[in-house]
Chain A
Amino acid sequence: MAWTKKILRVDLTKGTCKSEPLNMEWAQQYLGQRGLATKYFVEEVDPKVDPLSPANKMIMATGPLTGTPASTGGRYSVITKGPLTGAIACSNSGGYFGAELKFAGWDMVVFEGKSAKPVYLSIEDDKVELRDAAHLWGKTTWQTEEIIKKSHQDPQTRVCSIGRAGENGVLFSCIVNDLHRAAGRSGVGAVMGSKNLKAVAVRGTSGTATIKDPKAFMAATVAAKKVLADNAVTGQGLPKYGTQVLMNVINEMGALPTRNAKEVQFEGARNISGEAMHEKRPTDGKANLVTNNACFGCTIACGRISQVDKNHWSVVNNPKYWGASGGLEYEAAWALGAAAGVDDLDALTVANMMCNEDGMDPITFGATIGAAMELYTLGALTKEQIGIEAPFNSAQAVVEMTRMTAEGRGFGKELGLGSKRLTAKYGHPDLSMSVKGQEFPAYDPRGIQGMGLTYATSNRGACHLRSYTVASEVLGIPVKTDPLVTDGKAGLVIAFQDATAVFDSAGICIFTSFAWSLADVQPQLAAACEGDWSMEKLALVGERIWNMERQFNNAAGFTAKDDDLPKRMKTEAAKTGPAKGLVSGIDKMLPEYYKARGWTTGGVPEKETLARLGL
Chain B
Amino acid sequence: MQKSLYIDANKCTGCLQCEMACSYENYGIFNTAKSRIKIFDFEHEGRKVPYTCTQCAEAWCLNACPVEAISIDAATGAKVINESTCVGCKVCTIACPFGTVNYVADTGKVQKCDLCGGDPACATACPTGAITFVDSDWTGFDKMRAWAGKTDNAARASA
Chain A residues packing against B (C-beta within 8 Å):
67-69, 71, 96, 99, 103, 156, 179, 204-209, 211, 214, 218, 225, 229, 239, 290-299, 301, 305, 307, 323-325
Contacts and interface: CB of A to CB of B under 8 A. Distances in A.
B33 interface: yes
24 contacts: A71-B127, A96-B16, A103-B32, A179-B43, A204-B33, A206-B31, A207-B23, A207-B27, A207-B29, A207-B33, A208-B30, A208-B31, A209-B31, A214-B24, A229-B127, A290-B46, A292-B13, A294-B13, A297-B16, A299-B127, A301-B15, A323-B43, A323-B44, A324-B43
B34 interface: yes
Given A69-B125, A103-B33, A299-B15, 5 more contacts: A68-B20, A179-B43, A297-B15, A297-B17, A301-B15
Interface in B31-52: 31-34, 43-48
A363 B2 CA distance: 53
B13 A293 contact: yes
B14 interface: yes
A293 B45 CA distance: 12
A107 to B, nearest CB: 15
Contacts of A296: 15-16
Nearest to A291: B46
B28 interface: yes
A297 B17 CA distance: 5
Contact of A324 (B31, B32, B44): B44
Contacts of A239: 13
A277 to B, nearest CB: 13
Given A225-B127, A294-B13, A299-B17, A67 B30 contact: yes
B81 interface: no
A308 to B, nearest CB: 12
A207 B15 contact: no
Contacts of B24: 69, 214, 218
Nearest to A156: B33
6 closest A-B pairs by beta carbon, nearest first, are A207-B31, A324-B46, A323-B44, A290-B46, A294-B13, A294-B15
Given A68-B30, A204-B33, A301 B16 contact: no
A593 to B, nearest CB: 38
A297 to B, nearest CB: 6
A301 B12 CA distance: 10
A103 B23 CA distance: 12
Contact of A325 (B16, B29, B44): B44
A208 B27 CA distance: 11
B15 A324 contact: no
Interface of B: 13-17, 20-21, 23-24, 27-34, 43-48, 125, 127-128
A209 B31 CA distance: 8
Contact of B47 (A67, A69, A225, A291): A291
Given A68-B30, A323-B44, A301 B20 contact: no
B106 to A, nearest CB: 9
A301 B13 contact: yes
Contacts of A207: 23, 27, 29-34
B116 to A, nearest CB: 14
Q: Interface residues of A: mostly helix, strand, loop or mixed?
A: loop
A69 B20 contact: yes
A224 to B, nearest CB: 12
A334 B31 CA distance: 38
Contacts of A299: 15, 17, 127
Contacts of A307: 46
Contact of A214 (B15, B28, B43, B48): B28
A225 B46 CA distance: 25
A296 B35 CA distance: 15
A205 B33 contact: yes
B30 A298 contact: no
A206 B29 CA distance: 9
B45 to A, nearest CB: 6
A270 B42 CA distance: 31
B35 to A, nearest CB: 10
A297 B46 contact: no
Contacts of B17: 69, 297, 299
Given A69-B125, A291-B46, A324-B43, A297 B20 contact: yes
Given A207-B23, A298-B13, A301-B13, A69 B30 contact: yes
B16 to A, nearest CB: 6
A298 B47 CA distance: 17
Which of B13, B30, B34, B46 has its CB near the most chain A CB atoms (within 10 A)?
Answer: B30
Contact of A323 (B13, B23, B27, B45): B45
A376 to B, nearest CB: 36
A394 B48 CA distance: 36
Contacts of A292: 13
A103 B33 CA distance: 9
A346 to B, nearest CB: 16
A271 to B, nearest CB: 22
A205 B30 contact: no
A239 B128 CA distance: 10
Contacts of A290: 45-46
B119 to A, nearest CB: 14
Which of B14, B17, B48 has its CB near the most chain A CB atoms (within 10 A)?
Answer: B14
Nearest to A179: B43
B39 to A, nearest CB: 10
A307 B45 CA distance: 9
Nearest to B34: A207
Contacts of B28: 209, 214
Nearest to A209: B29
B135 to A, nearest CB: 25
A135 B124 CA distance: 45
Contacts of B128: 301
A218 B28 CA distance: 12
B8 to A, nearest CB: 13
A290 B24 CA distance: 32
A208 B29 contact: yes
A582 B44 CA distance: 46
A336 to B, nearest CB: 21
Contacts of B32: 99, 103, 207
